[in-house]
């Protein structure tokens, strides 16, 4: 979060929540804390994160209550109980925010919360009136930092002084140009490396706000930018400083990824016009969820890749053993030759018996090896099914991000449970684990029948057995991993059009979705059976009918009948 955005949030807070009573604190993630303040007639929730990738301070809507408690949130909650927030301080372009608390407005400050939002060095401190650290987000040992160590019980010291130049409205164009031209780099790097408060997003904002004839001016070397274009950038620079100093803020967003808090509506056409705090909350909420989703996809891909390699390795070992077991006939023939000779002594008898024994052992092992081969082949096919579910989830954009995240978390859990994989997990919330799980995708057919589509193994199991009734129809791509699709024809007889749409969707949500036509198994629910000792979604069936599904037609139907959400 850039310093201008931080300043805009603090301006809102200073105007609207001073003074307020501290009410509670909770920690939804290891590097994020949520604080609640109660005013005369309203509650205000803040979210502060010292995560190195996305440090931020935001006003948020009331979050879900966390069941389990972290030590930090407990210390803050009990330490600040019944206290009033009476001051919020932040020095111009510094990224250190100080919240002061007293027993009541007008009293001296007796507790502090300090937030340092400085990239990977971000942190949170809970201090007493003598600046002694009571609790800290992350402790820093002497071998981790030569400048300052951070631990509970020590006295808080300020972070290193920012030695970059402070932007001022009084600076002339020539002085500004000379300052950023010391080292010839791209204009973006020159501004970031020379002045306090300049971030990559600010350089993009200056570029968009300026009337230059070069759309990529920030990426150009400063020596190759004309004086006229630099003057246009300088004009925008002065406007930014003025609005920063005078706290003239307004939220604008462009192309779903680029926002500003200092453009005015009349100066630029923006897509959405919403209040600043709501705009920032929505922006960060969406992009943080998108990042989490991408990390979960990579994590699942990594788990599947690693486990598939293990299964293939074990499969090859069994194939080698199987090939060696073919020698049982050779050992038997050798033993037969020994006993077929006219003259045979005790030593030959012992050798012949050993050969027979080895032959029998190898023959018996073939059955066990074959069993293991079937297990490893089934495991590889199963991982292929998980991979298909993951691909299907990424290919369509019809669920909210939070729903996609939930589906991915369930897929990880399913893989880990099925293959007994132990992965490092963050502190889990006891209350959240009991919440309702994700629901299968559901659409209506042209005649109004319901169609259910499983998006993970648990959902496949549910729609095929728990939610289904006698008279429903089950669809799945033939000899291809994919989702189970159930047509709820128990309520009324399905038309040919209903059956065809169900087949098209079964084709779409299968590994064979890139084919023009896909053979689909159509089975009556009463003919479907769960495979004993099989994982969720493993079924067997009798009396199957084969029909052809068209994935393209299925995709068109989904797009028309499900709203795309972001």
Q: Find, among 525, 535, 405, the residue nearest to 476 by Cα.
A: 525
Alpha carbon distance 463, 483 (integer Å): 10
Q: Find, among 152, 154, 176, the residue nearest to 165 by Cα.
A: 176
Q: Note the pLDDT of residue 366.
A: 79
Would you kindly state where each structural domain of the chain is located, as residue ranges?
A: 3-136, 173-267, 296-419, 439-561
CA angle 344, 353, 368 (to 5 degrees): 155
Helices 3-16 and 227-246 cross at an angle (nearest 10°) of 20
**Residue 29: DSSP 8-state:** E
Contact 398, 558 (CB under 8 A): yes
* Ranges of residues in the chain whose predicted pLDDT is under 50: 427-434, 564-566
Collapsing DSSP to helix, strand or coil, 145 comes out as coil
Q: Note the pLDDT of residue 434.
A: 41
**Residue 448: DSSP 8-state:** S
Alpha carbon distance 352, 336 (integer Å): 8
Centre a 10 Å sphere on the Cβ of residue 409 and count the other Cβ atoms it contains: 17
Q: Note the pLDDT of residue 565.
A: 40
Instruction: Give the pairing of strands 485-487 and 111-116.
Output: unpaired
Q: Note the pLDDT of residue 264.
A: 81
Q: What is the pLDDT of residues 31-68, one digit of tens each?
A: 999 999 998 888 999 999 999 889 999 999 999 888 77
Reported for 362-367, long-range contacts at CB under 8 A and 24+ positions apart, including other chains, are 362/324, 362/325, 362/327, 362/328, 362/331, 363/325, 363/328, 365/321, 365/325, 366/322, 366/325, 366/328
Q: What is the pLDDT of residues 360-380, one digit of tens each?
A: 776 777 788 888 999 999 999
Q: Find, among 163, 164, 172, 216, the residue nearest to 191 by Cα.
A: 164
Centre a 10 Å sphere on the Cβ of residue 438 and count the other Cβ atoms it contains: 19
DSSP string computed for 517-543: -EEEEEEEGGGEEEPTT--TT-EEESS
Contact 456, 411 (CB under 8 A): yes
Cβ neighbours of residue 524 closer than 8 Å, sequence gap 6 or more: 471, 472, 473, 474, 543
Q: Note the pLDDT of residue 272.
A: 56
Strand partners, 443: 451
Contact 166, 196 (CB under 8 A): yes
Collapsing DSSP to helix, strand or coil, 138 comes out as coil
What CATH number belongs to 3-136? 2.30.310.10
Contact 475, 486 (CB under 8 A): yes
Cβ neighbours of residue 551 closer than 8 Å, sequence gap 6 or more: 504, 507, 508, 510, 512, 513, 514, 515, 518
């Amino acid at each position: 979060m850039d310093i201008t955005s931080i300043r805009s949030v603090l301006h809102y807070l200073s105007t609207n929540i001073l003074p307020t009573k501290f009410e509670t604190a909770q920690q939804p993630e290891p590097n994020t804390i949520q604080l609640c303040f109660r005013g005369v007639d309203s509650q205000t929730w803040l979210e502060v994160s010292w995560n190195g990738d996305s440090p931020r301070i935001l006003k948020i809507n009331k979050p879900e209550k966390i069941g389990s408690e972290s030590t930090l949130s407990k210390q803050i909650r009990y330490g600040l109980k019944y206290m009033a927030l009476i001051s919020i301080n932040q020095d111009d372009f510094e990224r250190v925010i100080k919240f002061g608390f007293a027993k009541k407005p007008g009293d001296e400050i007796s507790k502090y919360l300090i937030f340092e939002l400085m990239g990977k060095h971000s942190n949170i401190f809970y201090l007493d009136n003598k600046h002694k650290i009571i609790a800290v987000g992350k402790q820093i040992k002497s071998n981790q930092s030569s400048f300052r160590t951070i631990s509970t019980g020590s006295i808080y010291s300020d972070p290193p002084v920012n030695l970059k130049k402070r932007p001022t409205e009084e600076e002339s164009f020539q002085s500004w140009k000379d300052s950023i031209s010391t080292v010839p780099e791209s204009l973006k790097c020159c501004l970031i490396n020379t002045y306090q408060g300049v971030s990559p997003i600010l350089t993009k904002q200056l570029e968009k706000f300026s009337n230059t004839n070069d759309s990529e001016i920030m990426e150009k070397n400063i020596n190759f930018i004309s004086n006229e274009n630099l003057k246009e950038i300088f004009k925008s620079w002065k406007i930014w400083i003025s609005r920063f100093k005078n706290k003239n803020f307004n939220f604008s967003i462009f192309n779903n990824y680029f926002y500003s808090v200092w453009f005015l509506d009349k100066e630029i056409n923006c897509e959405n016009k919403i209040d600043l705090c709501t705009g920032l909350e929505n922006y960060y909420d969406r992009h943080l969820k998108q990042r989490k989703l991408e990390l979960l996809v990579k994590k699942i891909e990594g788990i599947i890749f690693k486990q598939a390699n293990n299964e293939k390795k074990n499969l090859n070992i069994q194939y080698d053993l199987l090939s060696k077991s073919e020698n049982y006939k050779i050992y038997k023939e050798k033993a037969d030759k020994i006993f077929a000779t006219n003259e045979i002594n005790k030593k030959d008898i012992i050798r012949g018996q050993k050969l027979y024994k080895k032959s029998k052992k190898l023959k018996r092992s073939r059955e066990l090896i074959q069993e293991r081969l079937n297990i490893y082949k089934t495991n590889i096919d199963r991982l292929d099914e998980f991979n298909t579910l993951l691909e299907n989830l990424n290919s369509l954009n019809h669920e909210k991000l939070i729903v996609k995240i939930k589906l991915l978390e369930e897929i990880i859990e399913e893989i880990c449970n099925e293959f007994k994989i132990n992965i490092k997990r963050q502190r889990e919330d006891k209350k959240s684990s009991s919440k309702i799980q994700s629901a299968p995708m559901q659409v209506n057919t042209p005649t109004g029948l319901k169609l259910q589509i499983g998006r993970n193994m648990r959902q496949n199991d549910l729609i095929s057995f728990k939610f289904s009734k006698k008279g429903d129809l089950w669809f799945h791509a033939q000899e291809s991993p994919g989702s189970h699709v159930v047509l709820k024809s128990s309520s009324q007889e399905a038309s040919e059009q209903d059956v065809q749409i169900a087949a098209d969707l079964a084709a779409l949500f299968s590994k064979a979705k890139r084919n023009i036509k896909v053979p689909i198994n159509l089975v009556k629910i009463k003919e479907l059976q769960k495979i004993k000792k099989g994982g969720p979604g493993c079924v067997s069936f009798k009396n199957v009918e084969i029909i052809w599904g068209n994935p393209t037609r299925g995709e068109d139907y989904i797009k028309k009948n499900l709203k795309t959400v972001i």
